[in-house]
Amino acid sequence: MSSTSQKHKNFVAEPMGDKPVTDLAGIGEVLGKRLEATGFDKAYVILGQYLVLKKDKELFQEWMKDQCSANAKQSNDCYQCLSDWCEQFL
């Protein structure tokens, strides 16, 4: 892992369980509310989308941009967080 935020480290350090979407790195209150409004209210639901997109970085970042208007840094942080979590737990 390259330099990561504390939020990223906390997320990757333990099983996902029922964590809210805002626990993912790159997703704050604003993006969290946008995602929740479209049914993506839990981190595991975002993980499902990540897996449906076959862990493809470009597809996932494009989906984040379309879904909640995430910028490149936000979508990259979220992608990296999910990628590292999968390496740890899947």
The CATH classification number of 6-89 equals 1.10.150.40
Domain ranges of the chain: 6-89
- DSSP 3-state of 53: coil
Name the pTM for this structure.
0.94
Copy the structure tokens of residue 50: 């990540």
Distance between CA 14 and CA 56 in Å, rounded?
23
Tens digit of pLDDT per residue, the chain (90 long)? 457 899 999 999 999 999 999 999 999 999 999 999 999 999 999 999 999 999 999 999 999 999 999 999 999 999 999 999 999 999
The pair of three-digit structure tokens given for residue 32, joined into one six-digit string: 């969290």
* Residue in this structure with the two tokens 């350090």, named with its chain if needed: 13
Task: Enumerate residues 6+ apart whose C-beta is below 8 A from 50.
Answer: 60, 79, 82, 86
